[in-house]
Chain A
């Protein structure tokens, strides 16, 4: 049993961090389809950072800085250059996947993957069987709680939600929707960096090209499934992780009877199912898809 829970937490934690990044962007009115790109940038920067600085703390800080800069770039393209947010997000994803591959090749020569000598510190033997988990897994519930407080229990959270739902109302009380989006995307950048770091250096210690394998999009699906609520979306992400872990279990047990590829596809099928279900339950999503503010008169 412990093994399954550990497997779920290992695969679920990176997803949850990135999901939270999607939640805060969504509440501010940005459909952030750049999550996949930000996550892989975070993963790559962490591993490269470890190799260059020999310090996990410095490596994660580097990842955070790069992801925040990439998020600011996304904000600039969407908010200042008025680009379509969906296309801009997908562009960032493409940039992340291609850019990290290029970076790895140009720094380490033609390698498909880079292995670091160490990763994020583990909890240690004091936690028994769970000691193999990294400290960022342990920090995850606190981050979820913190995001819930920030988004659902403070005036900042209300103003952020107003910017997403009714920008004109937000402007009428003196909030600046453009600046709010910048703040939301920047916080999202930090979370994506941590999610990427956990993916590459949590239980593993290496970066491989394309290693996020659609997890950013799965996180986005969790945002929709969880109705942009920090706790709801966290459970949605956890649900995807559970399906994934069961898929691996099923491979071990029925690998000879059921095609292996089908079992590997389970988390993605669950994502499709989850999005369909949330549409059924809530009558479709009505989150703002553009920044069209109400025009004067």
Chain B
């Protein structure tokens, strides 16, 4: 090429350090204008950091960013936006109490002035219509479904004349049909001349939409941008995982991790192991509405020993309330819950834990661990909260037991007095596993247990859940990653608007599970 067009976005040897941690090192990459580029890598590869550097939210330690051939001042959102770079966040950055029109206006620049509610809605009506976002502009963000919120976040990013639009893992929270709609929207943006950079971690999705692909691993650029025609799923998988780790994973695990699988998941298919009376038995459970999430509406759920039941659903359809209901943290309006044959409907969490309920919670760093407490305090919390109030505790004995347990779970740590906050995500999750997955566990709730973990840690968590299952524990797995659910669940239950909207057995058909995630009419029972 004698006279190539100027790249839409170019990073020159960008390095980002957060304290001692290097999130990106010497990343040099340039994206041609008018195309759809995918950036892939596993959790912790530096994808989000890369996006935030481009958007000006993160100041790189070294390196420069060019937009359309012009160098921009890094670390200033307003500079990046003025150059035409916009970022759509993975968990959307929209103030929940704002109306749709207010959300558009607060991100706009240029002439503002005093508005009225009516003039504001009129001002942004055509903008949203032009992007095919169908929504009442006076509705509040918090009342909108997640797919609509994403449309609004994209529209928010395009209120100015965006030339480079970066979407950070836009598919992670969507149902399969919503992903198709998103991709259609992205293609239309490409036709309008917008350069789109999609951060993804599923190879299937990359091959379906992108013109080029760039692979990050461990904060470094491994390859790219490669024209999509020149890469196979196989090669991409190896690039993402790295040859060394690729050898240690079996085919199943790797397929689930990078999403190369065909649209039909084989599933774990261990149903023959599941026998005996239910460990968990929920009958027509409805919860009182509260501000913390979608209430459950007459949910029936049974899990037998030796069974992994996956809960699929678009986020915010009652999965969190389900966990809170089982762990006595949500008020029941009606229905009953039995644990291992005992009616625990009115029992507090402590009593339920005594029966064998264990929880790997959604928020590892908020609900799962006290980051400012030591490892041994975190590890022993379960047991210490269980016994009598005035029991004497010998810290040295607890610490010894803790050391043994953490070694068994191959946690990497210095000593058990160190703060839980000093561990990496994978090691922190292993501490929770060491506490929650014990021999007495009858029902283990694993809520998004692999979110944010790298591939090695993810495989470790799956292994732990499978072993617990094989010992006869019942496992309730909640995940927004269908590949993960299909790979290790024996059964998948779909939740929609606080109700059970279908139950599926292996082999799982991604299309019908996806339909049940979004469409109440698709209610089925297998």
Residues of A whose CB lies within 8 Å of any CB of B are 149, 153-156, 158-159, 161-162, 165-166, 168-174, 283, 286, 296-297
Contacts and interface: CB of A to CB of B under 8 A. Distances in A.
Closest 6 CB pairs of A and B: A174-B78, A158-B106, A169-B93, A173-B107, A174-B77, A155-B112
B58 interface: yes
A172 B96 CA distance: 15
Given A158-B105, A159-B106, A296-B18, A172 B115 contact: no
Contacts of A158: 98, 102, 105-106
Contacts of B505: none
Contacts of A165: 95-98
Contacts of B78: 174
B57 A166 contact: no
A173 B89 CA distance: 12
A283 B289 CA distance: 12
A296 B16 CA distance: 12
Contact of A162 (B18, B81, B95, B109): B95
Contacts of B52: 296
B114 interface: yes
B106 A173 contact: yes
Nearest to B44: A297
Among B76, B81, B107, find the residue whose CB has the most chain A CB atoms closer than 10 A.
Answer: B107
Contacts of B94: 166, 169
Given A162-B98, A165-B96, A297-B48, A171 B77 contact: yes
B452 A297 contact: yes
Contacts of B56: 174
Among A162, A170, A173, find the residue whose CB has the most chain B CB atoms closer than 10 A.
Answer: A173
Nearest to A166: B95
Interface in B105-120: 105-109, 112-116
Main secondary structure of the interface of A (DSSP, over half): helix
A182 B89 CA distance: 27
8 contacts: A149-B114, A153-B115, A154-B113, A162-B95, A166-B95, A172-B107, A296-B18, A296-B49
A172 B48 contact: no
Contacts of B77: 171-174
A174 B81 CA distance: 8
A154 B93 contact: no
Contacts of A154: 112-115
B93 to A, nearest CB: 4
B55 interface: yes
A296 B452 contact: no
Contact of A296 (B58, B106, B113, B116): B58
B3 interface: no
A163 to B, nearest CB: 9
Given A154-B114, A165-B96, A297 B49 contact: yes
Interface in B32-49: 44, 48-49
A155 B106 contact: yes
B167 to A, nearest CB: 13
Contacts of B291: 283, 286
B216 to A, nearest CB: 13
A73 B250 CA distance: 60
Among A162, A165, A172, A296, find the residue whose CB has the most chain B CB atoms closer than 10 A.
Answer: A172
Nearest to B77: A174
A296 B58 CA distance: 9
Given A161-B98, A172-B55, A296-B18, 17 more contacts: A154-B113, A154-B114, A156-B112, A158-B105, A162-B106, A165-B96, A165-B97, A166-B95, A166-B96, A170-B95, A171-B77, A172-B77, A173-B77, A173-B81, A173-B107, A174-B81, A297-B44
B87 interface: yes
A159 B105 CA distance: 9
Contacts of A286: 291
Nearest to B92: A169
Interface in B97-135: 97-98, 102, 105-109, 112-116
B326 to A, nearest CB: 24
A228 B116 CA distance: 19
Among B49, B87, B112, find the residue whose CB has the most chain A CB atoms closer than 10 A.
Answer: B112
Contacts of A283: 291
B114 A153 contact: yes
A152 B77 CA distance: 24
Contacts of B76: 174
Nearest to B56: A174
Nearest to A164: B95
B116 A153 contact: yes
A173 B81 CA distance: 8
A251 to B, nearest CB: 42
Interface in B46-88: 48-49, 52, 55-58, 76-78, 81, 87
A162 B108 CA distance: 13
Interface in B289-306: 291
A158 B113 CA distance: 12
Contacts of A173: 77, 81, 106-107, 156
Nearest to B115: A153
Contacts of B93: 166, 168-169, 172
B92 to A, nearest CB: 8
Contacts of B48: 296-297
A170 B114 CA distance: 20
A161 B156 CA distance: 17
Contacts of A153: 114-116
Contacts of A168: 89, 93
Nearest to A163: B95
A175 to B, nearest CB: 8
Contacts of B109: 174
B364 to A, nearest CB: 13
B252 to A, nearest CB: 27
Nearest to A173: B107
Nearest to B90: A297
Nearest to A153: B114
Contacts of A161: 95, 97-98, 106
B45 to A, nearest CB: 11
B15 to A, nearest CB: 15
A155 B109 CA distance: 9
A153 B113 CA distance: 8
Nearest to B117: A153
Nearest to B109: A174
A172 B153 CA distance: 11
Contacts of B107: 172-173
A186 to B, nearest CB: 21
A169 B23 CA distance: 22
Contacts of A296: 18, 23, 48-49, 52, 58
A174 B102 CA distance: 16
A169 B95 contact: yes
A174 B98 CA distance: 17
A274 B94 CA distance: 31
Contacts of B87: 172
Contacts of B81: 173-174
Interface in B223-262: none
Interface string B350-389: 0000000000000000000000000000000000000000
Nearest to B120: A153
Interface in B445-480: 452
A273 B487 CA distance: 56
Among B58, B96, B115, B291, find the residue whose CB has the most chain A CB atoms closer than 10 A.
Answer: B115
Nearest to A157: B106
